[in-house]
């Protein structure tokens, strides 16, 4: 193996958290990873990872080597890309996770087109609303729809996520259409999440914020389920437009209290800080951001 391959192997060990997990992610024997790490340390004349029967920790030299190796791998990748006169060859396996509804509703066409452009690329896609530890589970990339707080990750903004407060025409005909925030007290709500209470924030035309506490009739952890129940007339729901846009476009759901502005959040591409980010991953992030952005197609209903 060459020095760049050894660097990449060492970076994978550090980011996976152990030799065992790195071997699983690389699909090679643990003994082979251990041997290559030992050979690298021998060649460098310095211990990079302090290993005991219970844990492994980076030495000071290992921390320095990891930081520099990550930078070098990224620089080599960029240099090859800029220098090569041939089209960039995107290959390998891209392991990615995304929220269930967003993935199923909006990533199909993106992945289809990207896969056609790069036929040598393989995908492992986890569409789930569970929290995924990217480093622990060996994912290169996650799409997350929330404001980010974890400083161990880097992020690139992909799209603006808007919400709709809506109900079915049948429900509004039976229960009346709310004209003011106070009118919401007389209505049933369908709540995303299983929390005891949920607060709805609306901003009026003068910029004043108003809050309404929701006491839900039905709670669920899946937005598509709530949209379906809203269409069936079970109540008002506060839901991202990327989930409800088709029902809003065809009139099966009707927005209410449109004189108020609803909160927005962002969709981000998230990846571990200081990790060597592959071309396949960087290109896909840019590919998604270009297609969605601040005026995504699902808001043009």
The candidate with the shortest Cα–Cα distance to 69, out of 108, 29, 15, is 15
Greater model confidence, 234 or 193: 234
pLDDT tens digits for 38-47? 998 899 999 9
Class of domain 92-156+269-292: alpha beta
Domain with CATH 3.40.190.290 in the chain: 163-263
Task: Report the C-alpha dihedral over residues 288, 291, 297, 299, rounded to 10 degrees.
Answer: 60
Domain with CATH 3.40.190.10 in the chain: 92-156+269-292
pLDDT tens digits for 82-104? 666 555 678 888 999 999 999 99
Distance (Å, rounded) from C-alpha 185 to C-alpha 168? 18
Domain with CATH 1.10.10.10 in the chain: 3-83
Class of domain 3-83: mainly alpha
β-pair partners for 220: 192
**Contact assessment for residue 254 and residue 169, using Cβ atoms and an 8 Å cutoff:** yes
Q: How confident is the model at residue 20 (pLDDT cuts 50, 70, 90)?
A: confident
Write down the architecture of domain 163-263 according to CATH: 3-Layer(aba) Sandwich (3.40)
Distance (Å, rounded) from C-alpha 105 to C-alpha 62? 43
Average pLDDT over residues 114-137: 90
Average pLDDT over residues 135-153: 83
The candidate with the shortest Cα–Cα distance to 198, out of 214, 212, 211, is 214
State the pLDDT at residue 150: 67
Average pLDDT over residues 255-267: 95
């Amino acid at each position: 193996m060459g020095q760049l391959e050894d660097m990449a192997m060492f970076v994978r060990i550090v980011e996976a958290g152990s030799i065992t997990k790195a071997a699983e992610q690389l699909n090679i024997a643990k003994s082979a990873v251990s041997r290559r790490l030992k050979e690298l340390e021998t060649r460098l004349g310095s211990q990079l990872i302090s290993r005991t029967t219970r844990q492994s920790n980076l030495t000071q030299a290992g921390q320095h080597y990891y930081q520099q190796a990550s930078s070098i791998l990224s620089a080599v990748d960029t240099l090859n890309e800029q220098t090569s006169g041939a089209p960039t060859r995107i290959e390998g396996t891209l392991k990615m996770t995304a929220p269930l509804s967003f993935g199923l509703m909006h990533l199909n066409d993106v992945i289809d087109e990207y896969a056609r452009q790069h036929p040598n690329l393989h995908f492992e896609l986890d569409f789930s609303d569970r929290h995924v530890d990217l480093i622990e589970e060996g994912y290169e990339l996650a799409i997350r729809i929330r404001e980010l707080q974890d400083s161990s990750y880097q992020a690139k903004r992909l799209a603006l996520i808007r919400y709709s407060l809506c109900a079915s025409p049948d429900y509004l005909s039976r229960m009346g259409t709310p004209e003011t925030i106070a009118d919401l007290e007389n209505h049933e709500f369908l709540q995303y999440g299983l929390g005891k209470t949920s607060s709805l924030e609306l901003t009026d035309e003068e910029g004043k914020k108003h809050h309404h506490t929701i006491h839900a009739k039905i709670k669920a952890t899946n937005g598509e389920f709530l949209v379906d129940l809203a269409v069936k007339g079970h109540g008002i729901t506060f839901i991202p437009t990327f989930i409800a846009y088709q029902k809003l476009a065809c009139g099966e759901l009707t927005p209410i209290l449109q004189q108020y502005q609803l909160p927005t959040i962002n969709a981000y591409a998230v990846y571990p800080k200081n990790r060597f980010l592959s071309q396949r991953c960087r290109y896909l992030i840019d590919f998604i951001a270009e297609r969605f952005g601040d005026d995504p197609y699902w808001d043009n209903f």
